[in-house]
Amino acid sequence: MLVGVTGEKRMVVVGLTGGIGSGKSTVSGLLAERGAIVIDADRIAADVRAPGGAAYQPLIDRFGPTIVAADGTIDRKALAEIAFADEKALADLNAITHPAIGAEIAARMAAEAGTDHLVLLDVPLLVENGRVTTDEVIVVDCPVDEAVRRLVEYRGFDEADARRRVAAQVTRDERLAKADFVIDNSGAPEALGDQVTRCWTWLESVRAEHRARSTAE
C-alpha cells in the first residue's frame, strides 16, 4: 500500500501502529476525539471481507466454504485458524486482502488532498509491509505477556493462539526503532489518557511545523 498525495495545502500523514493486544485501537479512538482524521485499516479490511466486498469471494475460493459463517459473512476465527497455520496460507491471505485495502486507503487519502488535516493511518502492519509513506510514526507499545493476557482475557483467544499471533509480527524492538513518538500502554487504562494528551500536543506541533514549511515554500 503506497500512499502519496499532494495539494496546495499539505495534510500531515501520521502512521499509528502497535502489536496485537497493544491497545492501538483505543489510542486511535482517543486521537479521533481530539480531531484526527482516522483511516482505520482494520475497518477497511472488514469491509473488503464482507459479502460483496472485493476480497469476499476470493477468500472463499482460496480457503473454502468452512470460513463462511451461518449468516453468510466470513468467520474471522475460522479464517485465522487456517491462515495463521502456515506461511503459505498467510501469504495467500495477504495477497488477496492487501491490494483491496490499499486501494481503499489511497482513495480516502485522496479525499483529504488540499487540506492541512492530521490524517492518522491506523495500520497494524505499518512496519512489516514497509510500503506506506508517512510523515511521522506513533507506536503503541506494551510487553508481550501483557498483550497475550489482554487477548486471552478480553478477546477470547486461547494462550497458544495469542502467542502465535504475536510471534507472527515484528518484534517490539523492530517496531520501536521506527517510532517518532511512543505511547507506553503497559499500565492501567487510566494512565493512557495523559499519554494520548501528550501525543496530541506533539501532533499539533508537527502540524504547525508543516504549515510553516508550506507557507515558506
- pTM over 0.95? The answer is no
Instruction: Record the cell numbers describing residue 137, joined without a space.
Output: 510514526
Q: Is residue 39 part of a domain?
A: yes
Tell me 189's DSSP state: G
Task: Write the CB contacts of 68 (distance below 8 Å, at least 6 apart in sequence).
Answer: 60, 74, 75
Q: What is the pLDDT of residues 48-100, one digit of tens each?
A: 999 999 999 999 999 999 999 999 999 998 998 899 888 899 999 999 999 99
Strand partners for 181: 138
Q: Is residue 109 part of a domain?
A: yes
Q: Is residue 2 part of a domain?
A: no
User: Of 104, 177, 132, 182, which Cα lies nearest the Cα of 13?
Assistant: 132
In angstroms, the CA 169 to CA 128 distance is 7
Q: Is residue 1 part of a domain?
A: no
Which residue is listed with cell 515558506? Answer: 216
The pLDDT of residue 191 is 86
15: buried, middle or exposed (CB in 10 Å: 19+, 13-18, 0-12)?
A: buried
In angstroms, the CA 188 to CA 201 distance is 22
Rounded alpha-carbon distances, angstroms, from residue 180 to 114, 145, 155:
25, 24, 29
Q: How many domains does the chain have?
A: 1
Rounded alpha-carbon distances, angstroms, from residue 145 to 18, 167, 187:
14, 12, 12
Residue 103: give its domain's CATH number: 3.40.50.300
Q: Is residue 92 part of a domain?
A: yes
Q: Is residue 180 part of a domain?
A: yes
Q: Is residue 32 part of a domain?
A: yes
- Domain carrying residue 99: 12-216
In angstroms, the CA 208 to CA 22 distance is 29
Helix axes 76-83, 56-63, angle to 10 degrees: 50
The pLDDT of residue 129 is 64
Q: Are 184 and 142 in contact (CB under 8 A)?
A: yes
The pLDDT of residue 174 is 92
The pLDDT of residue 2 is 34
Q: Is residue 7 part of a domain?
A: no
Q: Are 128 and 6 in contact (CB under 8 A)?
A: no
The pLDDT of residue 3 is 39
Q: Are 78 and 66 in contact (CB under 8 A)?
A: yes
User: Of 14, 2, 22, which Cα lies nearest the Cα of 186?
Assistant: 22
Within 13-143, residue ranges assigned H as helices are: 24-33, 41-49, 56-63, 76-83, 87-111, 126-129
The residues of the chain scoring below 70 in pLDDT are 1-9, 127-131, 214-217
